Structure 1
Amino acid sequence: MRFPLTVAHLVALTAFQLAFLLLFVDVRLASLPLALFVLLCGVAPFLPRFGFFLPILSRGSRSSPRVALSFDDGPDPAVTPAVLDLLDRHGLKAAFFLVAAKAEANPDLVRDILARGHEIGSHSWHHFPMLMLRGRKVLREEVARAQEIFRGFGILPRAFRPPVGITSSRLWPVLLDHGMFCVNFSCRGLDQGNRRVPGLARRILGKVRPGDLILLHDVKPTRATVDELLAELEAVVRGLEERGLEVVPPCTLLGRALMLRRLETQGAAESFYDDLAGTYDQEQFGTAVALSRNLELELFR
């Protein structure tokens, strides 16, 4: 499948042009632009907000005092139900980027997340931390298998959050094949997957800004109790309110739905196109009708 030029393509083109021009100045300088490009390729995957290899959604507009919450690595029967209850108490909606293997093992939790009005994104099948550094075949299998699991719940995630936020040049074509886009985050408490819970609220509230998509985790802490984690999450929510930041659903903050629902009654096709129409031009990603057609085939096959 053809896919649009990325920042990486443009930087590569510029590097080669500069290298060519420098040949006429000093041959020894010609390798510098190419070396810088290679260095950038090595660093870019580890910068969650840097859309070097593909477009990345990581925040909303800075002009409005709104933020959104997202939870990674679940569902976890020891934590997810309590997180859902906390969100209900405050009337908040969040996005849960689920590990598909855990979703398959905890189907009731997935249904509960959906029943309470939250959105679900894909966090891959197994959550290999260095998934993006593996071969394209492994990456394709991880994304495809996860989509199959989620389809069994009557949904199709459009948003994919790579494990640990690491991206690579292999990810963009794989996501296009599944009609998906990449969502990372712009604010996190460096909780290391709930291995560092104490001070979580302080770390987040000390740097959160309007438009931020906040990264949290709904997995059992390793060095704290679940109650301590919930206390930190409660402090995050209350602190955002005190700072005048409205917590909105991630789809509202980002301006696009993170998942599609497959309706088992009449009107499924109408619902699909209504959902797509609002941001049709943006959803194309420059690939004509390829993306919307893939979404349709995935959703209704």
Structure 2
Amino acid sequence: MWPNPCKSESIRLSPAERCGIIAFALAILLGAVDLHLATVPLTLLVMLCVVAPFLPRAGFFFPVISRGTTGRSRVAITFDDGPDPATTPRLLDLLEKYRVPAAFFVTGRRAAVYPHLIRAIIDRGHEVGNHSFHHNKYRMFWQPGLLDHEIAATQRALAPLGIVPLAFRPPIGITTPAMGKVLAARNLFAVNFSCRAFDAGNRRIGRLSRKILTTVQENDIVLLHDSTPHTERSIEPWLNEVEAILKGLSEKGLASIPLSRLIDRPVMRRKDGMTS
């Protein structure tokens, strides 16, 4: 039985909770000297809570996996925002050509419209994770019930295909205080990333491979996208960039392995009982 990090860590204080305790303790001590000074640690705490959601690797509010633990020259490649009929099939062919496994964090809306692409992803030996239903980054800040609906709707969209995601990646990597409890209730855990090209969902594909290959390190979780670039004419250049990444990783001595192996826990379960 694989532990849920959100649950296993629930008895420990999160960084946010520890910072809160320290901030309030300092406020009390400083307030005894000067009431104006008491506002300093509280203001810093508020600023930290405002910035933390946009730091994908922070894990400030609850545990977030953003790197592997192999201790070896390994990386995992992940693709967000699909599946897409214009790009995903060609991407699958490219991954098969180089024998590279990947994890696809799909939206429930697209999974419901293109179930055959989800089947193709699984049939090619790749993994599937939950990336919310609508991919609305603002919904990550809504009340927990709406966030839960986004996650649950994607689970339901994938269930008829025999897939039960165990890993959730929030849109744009945004995390919020409520998200940890929602994920724990659904027996999911959060996976973000440690290497990305800031491609804005394939709207900026120029020098994509260069940005990845100059920053990638062992145990990185690499973030890419398989959504259609801003114009269909950009699909071929995008595929060339992805191919350059696959070649470049191999040349750097970094083996691409399944995300589940890199983080040493399954990211999905199949209805037949198999995990991956």
Q: Select 2:240's aligned residue among 222, 228, 231.
A: 231
Cα distance, 1:24 vs structure 2: 2.2
Counterpart amino acid of residue 241 in structure 2: E
Q: Which residue of 1 aligns with 2:179?
A: 171
Q: Which residue of 2 aligns with 1:258?
A: 267
Q: Select 2:162's aligned residue among 154, 158, 162.
A: 154
Alignment pair present for 1:181 and 2:181: no
Q: Which residue of 2 aligns with 1:296?
A: none
- 8 Å Cα contact 2:196-2:212 kept in structure 1: yes
- 8 Å Cα contact 1:48-1:185 kept in structure 2: yes
Counterpart amino acid of residue 86 in structure 2: A
Cα deviation, 1:55-80, whole Å, max 9, x if unaligned, reads 01011138311111000000000000
Alpha-carbon distance in structure 1 between the residues aligned to 2:34 and 2:150 = 47
- 8 Å Cα contact 1:62-1:209 kept in structure 2: no
Q: Which residue of 2 aligns with 1:57?
A: 65
Cα distance, 1:210 vs structure 2: 0.9
- TM-score, scaled to structure 2: 0.93
- 8 Å Cα contact 2:173-2:192 kept in structure 1: yes
How does 1:28-67 map onto structure 2 within 5 Å?
28-61=36-69, 63-67=71-75
Q: Select 2:78's aligned residue among 60, 70, 76.
A: 70
Counterpart amino acid of residue 229 in structure 1: W
Q: Which residue of 1 aligns with 2:224?
A: 216
Alignment pair present for 1:83 and 2:83: no
Alpha-carbon distance in structure 2 between the residues aligned to 1:130 and 1:208 = 29
Q: Select 1:246's aligned residue among 255, 259, 267.
A: 255
Cα distance, 1:131 vs structure 2: 2.0
Cα distance, 1:180 vs structure 2: 0.3
Alignment pair present for 1:116 and 2:131: no
Query: Aligned with 1:110: secondary structure?
Result: helix
Cα distance, 1:164 vs structure 2: 0.9
Q: Select 1:133's aligned residue among 138, 141, 144.
A: 141
Q: Which residue of 2 aligns with 1:297?
A: none
* Cα root mean square deviation, aligned: 1.6
- 8 Å Cα contact 2:80-2:106 kept in structure 1: yes
Counterpart amino acid of residue 91 in structure 1: R
Alignment pair present for 1:202 and 2:210: yes
- 8 Å Cα contact 2:52-2:58 kept in structure 1: yes
Cα distance, 1:132 vs structure 2: 1.4
Query: Aligned with 1:152: secondary structure?
Result: helix
Q: Percent identity?
A: 46
Cα distance, 1:198 vs structure 2: 1.5
Query: Aligned with 1:253: secondary structure?
Result: helix
Cα distance, 1:220 vs structure 2: 0.8
Alpha-carbon distance in structure 2 between the residues aligned to 1:134 and 1:232 = 36
Q: Which residue of 2 aligns with 1:10?
A: 18
Cα distance, 1:261 vs structure 2: 0.8
Q: Which 4+ stretches in 1 moved above 6 angstroms?
A: none
Counterpart amino acid of residue 117 in structure 1: G
For structure 2, which runs of at least 5 residues remain unmatched after alignment?
1-5
